[in-house]
A and B are shown apart, each in its own frame.
Chain A
Amino acid sequence: MTIVLSSSWGDAMSSNKGKDGEMRVVKVLASVGQLEEGVDFTRPSTTNTADMGADLYLFHPSGFLDKFANIANGNAPNQLAPIEQKSGIKSSQKTRIDVKATSNKIHAQTVRKFISDTHKHPDCTGHLLVGGAELSKTARQEFDEARVSFGKHGKKLDYIKNDGIINLEKHYHPRILDGGDNEPPSE
């Protein structure tokens, strides 16, 4: 059996590390909520979090999740179709966010649970898996198949890796520091 002891894994899976990863996403969402009209989020009760695969719920207008994922994927924000920025825009959609605080790849087992958890949240139109270095090849294949399948039923599945969180931070945090008035620096 080719298992080796890991000195880093213990740190990576401590409760603090997991919470740190989740809180990092919370910080991004707090910035998003400040800057994007009609976007807000909540944290569910911690009791059944692992059971339900829901660390956060994001409330947002239609179309926002695509913009959010595009920024995370490194697309230049200035090239993106802007969401209509005017007061009175409503949060019409709810997205479940499942955060994985790991620097390793996300494996097929985790993706399978993420997909099956989708059925536990019939009120969510979006389902976002966040964290990890990337999806493993098997995980990617199964995720992409599920994305197509759920898409036929009006559900949107997306994945944002750790680098994507950094992209979101680079995009949103400078705007907060600038008072929300300026475009972020070129990325």
Chain B
Amino acid sequence: MSTTLFLTKFARGSDGRYIESESLEIERAPVGAELLNTITLFSPLAELTVYEDEGDVDKSTVECFQDENISAIVDSIEAEFRRRLAASSAGVSAECELSEVMAKFREITNVYFLFKLKLEKYSDDDSVIVQLG
């Protein structure tokens, strides 16, 4: 299954509701099962209720990470990157392996950038959510 992390800004209704129809994507980063499992070790998984429109009764659940865990997640990704760096520097020998290593680094650096954006630019903005899709 292909899974993607989204840094999404939701509009907030007058009652604080999260409104999906006016949501904006700030960043996205595809993430594989292995890295996702590493991240979720450091963050309890959460659900956010979102509404289709202001005043709408239609609602659904968005799977997301809690703001208070973002810093720990960033630290965990840095640790995972160091681990992968050490492991790959000794193991890259053929072109096909290099391609795979590069793809894995691309994945982890993109995911890292997304969480860093949340941490550094939107840490006090609870309308900006790291969600999974």
Interface of A with B (CB < 8 Å)? 1-6, 9-10, 12-15, 18-19, 21-22, 46-55, 98-102, 104-110, 112-113, 131, 136-138
CA distance in complex: A102, B64 (Å): 13
Contact of B1 among A3, A19, A108, A136 (CB under 8 A): A19
Q: A51-B30, A108-B20, A136-B60 are in contact. Are A13 and B52 (CB under 8 A)?
A: no
CA distance in complex: A101, B2 (Å): 9
Contact with A along B1-44 (1 / 0, CB 8 A): 11110101000000010101101010010111110110010001
The residue in A9, A13, A109, A110 that gathers the most chain B C-beta atoms within 10 A of its C-beta is A109
Report the minimum CB–CB distance from A47 to chain B (whole Å): 5
Q: Would you call B32 and A138 a contact (CB within 8 A)?
A: no
Q: Would you call B45 and A113 a contact (CB within 8 A)?
A: no
Q: Would you call A50 and B48 a contact (CB within 8 A)?
A: no
Q: List 27 A-B contacts (CB under 8 A).
A: A5-B44, A5-B46, A5-B47, A9-B45, A9-B63, A10-B45, A13-B3, A13-B63, A15-B33, A15-B34, A19-B33, A21-B1, A47-B99, A47-B104, A50-B4, A53-B30, A55-B2, A99-B1, A99-B2, A100-B1, A100-B133, A104-B61, A105-B60, A109-B28, A109-B131, A109-B133, A113-B133
Please indicate the chain B residues that have their CB under 8 angstroms from the CB of A46 in the complex.
32
Contact of A14 among B2, B16, B37 (CB under 8 A): B37
Contact of A3 among B64, B100, B132 (CB under 8 A): B64
Please indicate the chain B residues that have their CB under 8 angstroms from the CB of A110 in the complex.
4, 133
Report the minimum CB–CB distance from B54 to chain A (whole Å): 13
Contact with A along B38-72 (1 / 0, CB 8 A): 00100011111110110010101111101100000
CA distance in complex: A78, B33 (Å): 40
CA distance in complex: A52, B61 (Å): 25
Report the contact-size class of chain B (Cβ under 8 Å from the partner): 35 or more
CA distance in complex: A101, B132 (Å): 12
Q: Would you call A107 and B62 a contact (CB within 8 A)?
A: yes
Contact of B20 among A6, A55, A131, A136 (CB under 8 A): A136
Q: Would you call A113 and B4 a contact (CB within 8 A)?
A: yes
Q: Would you call A18 and B46 a contact (CB within 8 A)?
A: no
Report the minimum CB–CB distance from B26 to chain A (whole Å): 10
Q: Would you call B21 and A1 a contact (CB within 8 A)?
A: no
Please indicate the chain B residues that have their CB under 8 angstroms from the CB of A14 in the complex.
33, 37
**B107 interfacial contact with A, CB 8 Å:** yes
Q: Would you call B47 and A108 a contact (CB within 8 A)?
A: no
List the 5 closest A-B pairs by CB distance, nearest first.
A15-B33, A50-B30, A18-B1, A110-B133, A105-B60
CA distance in complex: A54, B63 (Å): 21
Report the minimum CB–CB distance from B28 to chain A (whole Å): 6
CA distance in complex: A136, B129 (Å): 18
Please indicate the chain B residues that have their CB under 8 angstroms from the CB of A10 in the complex.
40, 44-45
